[in-house]
Each structure stands twice: as C-alpha cells, then as structure tokens.
Amino acid sequence: MTDNEAIMTREDPKLPAFKAIRGTVFFDSYREDIQQSIRQAGEVDLSLVWQHDIPVDDNAVSVAMGVLGFAGIADPAKIGAVKRAMNTVVNPYA
C-alpha cells in the first residue's frame, strides 16, 4: 500500500489481486482496516525468537503460544502439529 494505491492479494494464487486507487471506497476502507489493525497490534519481543538450526520442542511451542496470547491451548495434538511445522523447513507458499 502506498499513499496513492493499494494492491490486495488473495490466498488462492489462481485468483487475481485487487488494485484500489486513492479516493475510492475500497482504498479508504482498506486503509482504515490497516490503520485499525496497527492500533490493535501488540509488540512481540523478537529476542524470544529461536534460531532455525535448533529443533523446537513442546516447551518452546508452549512458551511461544503464551507470548502470542494462546496460553490456554494445551492440546498435545495441536502443540505437536505446531512443533512438526516449525521443525520442517518447507516454504508454505510454494
């Protein structure tokens, strides 16, 4: 997004992106949505990020989920799924 236009992509790579020009309802709505998201966003302490060459264990996943506000999730299957995803070096967008 720039001061004059916004390009919005979709999750499905087969679908085209949208382009909205400043002064249109779409541009104003998208800009307002981004500004609201920024106001609501919290900061994440990046010193808590672990190195990629260190395997992630259940405890690391639990700590990260707590930092992100999901401390109440204690389901071993969900924690295991997150751990497997983090220990797999694969581009999810490929």
What pLDDT, on a 0 to 100 scale, did the predictor assign at position 51? Answer: 62
Burial category of 64 from C-beta neighbours within 10 Å (exposed 0-12, middle 13-18, buried 19 and up)? middle
Q: What angle (nearest 5°) sits at the alpha carbon of residue 62, between those of residues 52 and 39?
A: 85
Q: Which residue has the tokens 């998208």?
A: 30
pLDDT tens-digit series, residues 18-77 = 899 999 998 999 899 999 998 888 877 766 665 666 677 888 888 888 888 887 777 888
Q: What is the pTM of this model?
A: 0.42
Whether pLDDT at 89 is above 90? no
